[in-house]
């Protein structure tokens, strides 16, 4: 499978050896230094988490970092079919929400990897899983609100500044 516009290397991204058989990484945009640092932290922490608690799903996933909201791919041409779990990260969102913030990219990568490898579909449950991982491997005293500010666990939605709720899927 080929990703249109993918760079030949994922410069700066270091996939831990224990994850090498589980993930592929492709970028169609140049990552900023803080994004690379955050992604590397997320991958390191998830490698530690997988050693601590084995994933329930034995997927091989593609982590694709794209500039906006469009991803194009093509098959190599010799496949009779293809299955691939895709974790897609629109860099524009990270940069618009909080440019130079390493938390958003780190937690986003961790969250999508938990969805994929632990089979957690529910947004609130996966966020609780991520907070547990952050407490175990990054900062023991972190609160749910610090990791996912504005998330309402009762409605599984993000509270807006006006107090209403927006569903997040």
Element (H, E) at 64: strand 61-66
Task: With cut-offs at 50, 70 and 90, classify the pLDDT of residue 160.
Answer: low
Q: Give the 3-state secondary structure of residue 112.
A: helix
Least confident of 86-95, 98-107, 115-124, 134-143: 98-107
Give pLDDT tens digits for 4-39.
778 877 789 999 999 999 999 999 999 999 999 999
**What is the C-alpha to C-alpha distance for residues 102 and 36, in angstroms, rounded to an integer?**
9
pLDDT recorded at residue 14: 95
DSSP class per residue in 74-104: E--S--S----EEEEEEHHHHHHHHTT-SHH
pLDDT, mean of residues 137-141: 94
For residues 149 and 36, the model is more confident at 36
What is the pTM (predicted TM-score) of this model?
Answer: 0.86
Cα 114 to Cα 83: distance, rounded to the nearest angstrom: 19
29's tokens: 């945009």
Interhelix angle 33-52/103-118, nearest 10 degrees? 40
Give residue limits of the domains in the chain.
2-142
Q: Is the pLDDT of residue 169 over 80?
A: no
pLDDT 10s digits, 60-79: 899 999 998 888 887 888 88
Distance separating alpha carbons of residues 99 and 38, to the nearest angstrom: 12
134 token code pair: 């952050």
Average pLDDT of the residues in 85-112: 92
């Amino acid at each position: 499978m080929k990703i249109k516009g993918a760079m030949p290397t994922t410069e700066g991204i270091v996939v831990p050896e224990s994850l090498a058989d589980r993930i592929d990484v492709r970028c169609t945009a140049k990552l900023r230094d803080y994004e690379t640092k955050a992604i590397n932290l997320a991958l390191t922490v998830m490698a530690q988490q997988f050693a601590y608690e084995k994933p329930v799903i034995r997927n091989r996933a593609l982590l694709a970092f794209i500039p906006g909201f469009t991803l194009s791919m093509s098959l190599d041409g010799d496949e009779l079919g293809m299955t691939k779990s895709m974790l897609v990260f629109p860099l524009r969102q990270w940069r618009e929400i909080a440019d130079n913030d390493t938390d958003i990219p780190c937690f986003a990568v961790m969250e999508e990897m938990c969805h994929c490898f632990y089979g957690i579909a529910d947004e609130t449950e996966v966020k609780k899983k991520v907070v547990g991982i952050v407490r175990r491997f990054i900062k023991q005293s972190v609160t749910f609100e610090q990791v996912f500010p504005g998330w309402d666990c009762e409605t599984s939605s993000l509270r807006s500044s006006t107090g209403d709720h927006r569903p997040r899927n």
